Chains A and B, each alone.
Chain A
Amino acid sequence: MIPFEHSGPVITARLQSFEAELLGDLAGQLIVLLGDRTGVEPGGDPEQAATAALLAQLGIGGSESAPLDPALARLLPDAYRNDDAASTEHRRLTELGLVDRKIANANIVVATVATDPVELDEQSAQSWLRTLTDLRLTLAARLHIEEDGDDGTGDQAMLDVYDWLGYLQGTLLDEIERMKGDHEL
């Protein structure tokens, strides 16, 4: 059964309860992973946390070096291919904003997937699309899927989750396209 179906401007997701729980867990783990880049420790200095939050709201501030974790490096890539100085400057100005938006999208997934039925308006459907992408990029890094044709190495359960997330994203996108098609008629 196709997991997504739209009626008017709302897409309903039909997920088994274990699927909804898994997706919520994964989005939660993504938030923790990205949270590492904000430099704010949970339960840390509240003043530092407030400053970081303000900078993120303004879309500025961020680390000067690319993440060492390959998953984070793929989620937050360098903006210049052969210019470290320009990449560093761009990262310093934009990374916190990017991280903040990715976390906000994942938070929307966590919130919406916990409801029954799962109903997505246009904006939350966009958050789902982006978070499903970020989750697949993260798992691909863990599974060493680096080039076209790589099957991935590692845990079979993780490979199955990776494929399932691709199926979810593909079918959600199809439904968004169908909804847009209705609108254009």
Chain B
Amino acid sequence: MPIPTLERDTFLETAELPDTPWVTIVWNDPVNLQSYVSYVFRSYFGHPRPEAERLMLLVHNEGRAVVASGGREEMERHVEAMHDFGLWATLAKDES
């Protein structure tokens, strides 16, 4: 399969393949406490503490982190759950 040479922001335009993986992305915000973000990753996704802390620090330092991947509907449910918690999350097609 050819490697797409699309800009990062245009990958959503690509044709949707049935088994294209989707990802849930959590974005940094200046409001949520680090301890709370880590707690959400543990209590909702069931991550062990070191993985939750790693993802939380990725969000904090890199501005975003992929916290889950899978089918589109599942990612939509995750995004809705993150919004329940007050975290800023979006879903997108896996760009990797």
Contact = CB atoms under 8 A, between A and B. Distances in A.
Contacts, number: 80
A133 B36 contact: yes
Contact of B76 (A90, A102, A134, A176): A90
Interface string B24-56: 010011111101100100000000000000000
Contact of B12 (A75, A79, A83, A166): A83
B84 A98 contact: yes
A77 B83 contact: yes
Contacts of A145: 30-31
Contacts of A164: none
Nearest to A152: B30
B84 A140 contact: no
Contact of A76 (B12, B35, B76, B83): B83
B30 A149 contact: yes
A102 B35 CA distance: 21
Contact of B30 (A97, A140, A173): A140
Given A77-B83, A80-B90, A169 B76 contact: no
B67 to A, nearest CB: 14
A129 B36 contact: yes
A46 to B, nearest CB: 29
Contacts of A86: 12
Interface in A123-139: 129-130, 133-134, 136-137
B65 interface: no
A169 B84 contact: no
Given A82-B9, A98-B80, A145-B30, A173 B92 contact: no
A79 B79 CA distance: 7
A79 B76 contact: yes
Nearest to B88: A77
B86 interface: yes
Interface in A143-172: 145-150, 166, 169-170
Contacts of A79: 76, 79-80, 83, 89-91
A82 B12 contact: yes
Given A79-B90, A80-B90, A130 B30 contact: no
B12 A130 contact: no
B32 to A, nearest CB: 7
23 contacts: A77-B90, A79-B91, A80-B12, A80-B92, A82-B9, A82-B92, A83-B12, A98-B83, A101-B84, A130-B86, A133-B32, A133-B36, A133-B85, A133-B86, A137-B29, A145-B30, A148-B60, A169-B33, A170-B33, A170-B35, A173-B35, A174-B35, A177-B39
